[in-house]
Amino acid sequence: MPDKPSVLFVCVHNAGRSQMAAAWLTHLAGDRVEVRSAGSAPADQVNPAAVQAMAEAGIDMSAETPKVLTTEAVQASDYVITMGCGDTCPVFPGKHYLDWKLDDPAGQGVDAVRPIRDEIRARIETLITEIDTEWKA
């Protein structure tokens, strides 16, 4: 078993939900967890409303860029959390797969993104508890 668990967040554009989830996990779990995010069809940039909503929570995502989903990223991750990418995510045995049904913040203003941000935080807190339970040696 590796030293620490790794989590991959996947959504279509890797511009909103998966970026916010990765930022929350990095913020709340620190270096206890390796964090990646990717998209099956990455956007040109991270959603500005998502960046603003996270900045309001004290997390700077302004330097993040959408990344393309690779088979290697999935293989290297212990947890693969999809957010509406459906069948585009490759499946490998021995991984934890979770599908989080979240509203897509694309094209939404910051007022619409805040509740998504807060729901993602709550799910990340639950995920950290699950990971800590499972990865205790």
**Positions marked active-site:** 11, 85, 89
DSSP strands (E only) in the chain? 6-11, 34-39, 79-82, 96-99
Q: Is 115 left (phi over 0), alpha (psi -120 to 50) or beta?
A: alpha
Phi then psi dihedrals of residue 127, to 5 deg: -60, -45
Q: In what order do the strands lie in the sheet with 79-82?
A: 34-39, 6-11, 79-82, 96-99
Query: In angstroms, rounded to a whole number, what is the distance separating the alpha carbons of residues 119 and 21?
Result: 10
Dig out the tokens for 103 from the structure.
């509203």
The Cα angle at residue 7 between residues 71 and 97, in degrees rounded to 5: 70
